[in-house]
Amino acid sequence: MSKEKTLIQFKNIIKTYGKNEAKTYALNGVNFSINEGEFVAIMGASGSGKSTSMNIIGCLDKPSDGEYLFNGINVEKLNRNQLALIRRNYIGFVFQGFNLLGRTSALENVELPLIYRKVPFQKRKELAMNALKKVGLENVAHHAPSQLSGGQQQRVAIARAIVTNPLIILADEPTGNLDSIKSIEIMNLLKQLNEESNITIIMVTHEEEMASYSSRVIYFRDGHIENSLKKGLK
């Protein structure tokens, strides 16, 4: 039996804001690890530390103290350009608000990460169309976001996140702007990508029903991890 590979590791992570009497702890001695192929939900009240953790995981912020290892790399020692390379090459982002460019087609939105990677035009089109096929939207590839439903727009955003074949997808409230039916569709899609493509998914959510699609839930409270529970209910 092969040993599980650790992709994300927090070692006594501390994140503070302000100084002296105004100093506050967003994270205060947080420890956890996430293995390749896991689907982890992160939950907690506003101000609990879950969003700060996601920003650190996504190399959008650095800890004030402690060690963050991304695929064995000590992230807090990297410079801005090196952090950008990790984001570009290994992480796909999915946001609550979709973040699609309104004046470009679904296909062109999915192509964006490939443009940054200087992928040639024809190869770019091919990879973007394949990503849209994976989310079931090849038939609307040339539609603008305004011609798509909220669920379809989020599928385009997921296609954009997976087009570079990332190690990890970071999903921040991916169903927050969707109704219950579309939310279930998106969660089933994320679960399918996790199981069939072995993409590691880390998702912030405030909804227990959405978290139940994950294999593990990490609960944050006041800058600490309150508990970490195996799920797998769906």
CATH number of the structural domain spanning residue 161: 3.40.50.300
What residue has token string 């609307």?
Answer: 140
* Cross-strand bridge partners of residue 85: none
202's enclosing H/E stretch is strand 200-204
Question: Using alpha carbons only, how large is the chain's radius of gyration in Å?
Answer: 18
Residues 6+ apart with CB under 8 A from 75: 56, 59, 62, 68, 69, 83, 86
The count of structural domains within the chain is 1
Please check whether residue 131 lies inside any domain of the structure: yes
Q: What is the extent of the structural domain holding 124?
A: 6-230
208's enclosing H/E stretch is helix 208-211
pLDDT for the residue numbered 231: 61
Say how far apart CA 154 and CA 96 lie, in whole Å: 8
Say how far apart CA 88 and CA 117 lie, in whole Å: 8
**pTM, 2 dp:** 0.89
Cα angle value 112/100/58 (rounded, 5°): 70
Task: Give the other-Cβ count within 10 Å of 206's Cβ.
Answer: 13
Please check whether residue 146 lies inside any domain of the structure: yes
Q: pLDDT tens track of the chain, all 234 residues? A: 446 799 999 999 999 998 888 889 999 999 999 999 999 999 998 889 999 999 999 999 999 999 999 999 998 889 999 998 899 889 999 988 878 888 899 999 999 999 888 899 999 999 999 999 989 988 999 999 999 988 899 889 999 999 999 999 999 988 888 888 889 989 999 999 999 888 999 999 988 899 999 999 999 999 999 877 676 444
- 135, 160, 202 from 51: Cα distances, Å: 26, 22, 12
Please check whether residue 1 lies inside any domain of the structure: no
Please check whether residue 65 lies inside any domain of the structure: yes
